[in-house]
Amino acid sequence: MNLLIIGGSGHVSGTLARTALAGGHHVWTTTRGKRPVPGGAKSLIVDRHDHKAMASVIAGENRVWDLVVDCICYDVPDIQQDIDLFRNRARQFVFVSTDFVYNPAQRTFPQPEETDHYVQMDKGSKSYGLKKRLCEQALMDADTGDMAWTIVRPCHIYGPGSELGCLPLHGRDPDLIRKMQTGEALQLVGAGHFLQQPILVHDLAATIISIAGCDTVGREIFNIAGPDMIESWQYYQIIADVLAVDLQIEEIPVQSYAEQNPDKAPFLCHRIYNLNCLQVSDLNVPSTSIEEGLRLHVEALSV
């Protein structure tokens, strides 16, 4: 397979590149050249927001890719660029969206892909989730020619290459391991009782790669989550067990925190998913347990 990744040096995009290379695929990455990309990939150096330069670099490759994956599309001009560039240059296209497209106040449990309750334009109209939803809509409404597209909505992505932490006030906390090792109490909103379903980044990469050549997933949307539904405090307990320390928790009241931090609403809800669509597809279904995945993540950060 010939795979082009928009991105290639980040947590998800870098893992995707390494996983594809390990599987014997040919990989191109598109980055600004600020960080290294995995060895073996053909690195295309260009700022995607320089549309003229991006078009020139892509055209210069003079090929049709089997799969193009945009890991760094965050706004409508980005997805429109993808449509314009790859309508005739990609057999399949994957847009990496997010579970934050769902309205946090009107979720169902578990959350299916189909809903009437997406994040709205009122509060947080410039939010990450809203921008991703607008990108989804632009892709769904576009004339993409012979290019088949698939949208994936991952939840909390963890694993080597990122920081640990899944809930305010310790989301992606670079100091988390030290705090836990020194017995510092973790401040968890609602004492960490929100349910979630984290996905190991390697599992996400494998699922995305499995889209290539799958004829049944065109114009489809998939929730992508791990196999385990857990309370957030359990995420931290697993880390504590790996570190062989006691977990100390300080409860932060949900209501007062939510009132003071309305932008954090997407985190202050249960994030668990109906994976029926994924499970009946021909795609890879994530299977790494949260215990095994967090062990790998902690060990990678402890080296």
**Residue 303's pLDDT band (cuts 50, 70, 90):** confident
State the total domains in the chain: 1
Residue 199, CB-side half-sphere exposure with 13 Å CA sphere: 29
Q: Give yes or no for a contact between 21 and 27, defined as CB atoms under 8 angstroms apart.
A: yes
State pTM to two decimals: 0.97
DSSP 199-244: EEHHHHHHHHHHTTT-TT-TTEEEEE--S--EEHHHHHHHHHHHHT
**Residue 38's pLDDT band (cuts 50, 70, 90):** very high
pLDDT at 66 over 50: yes
DSSP state, 7?
A: B
Q: Give yes or no for a contact between 167 and 265, defined as CB atoms under 8 angstroms apart.
A: no
Query: pLDDT tens digits for 173-200?
Result: 999 999 999 999 999 999 999 999 999 9
pLDDT the model gives residue 164:
98
pLDDT at 288 over 90: yes
Query: pLDDT tens digits for 255-272?
Result: 999 999 998 999 999 999
Range of the domain at 170: 2-302
**Does an H or E element contain 135, and which?**
helix 128-141
- Token digits for 45? 């150096």
**Residue 102's pLDDT band (cuts 50, 70, 90):** very high
Question: Which CATH number covers residue 211?
Answer: 3.40.50.720
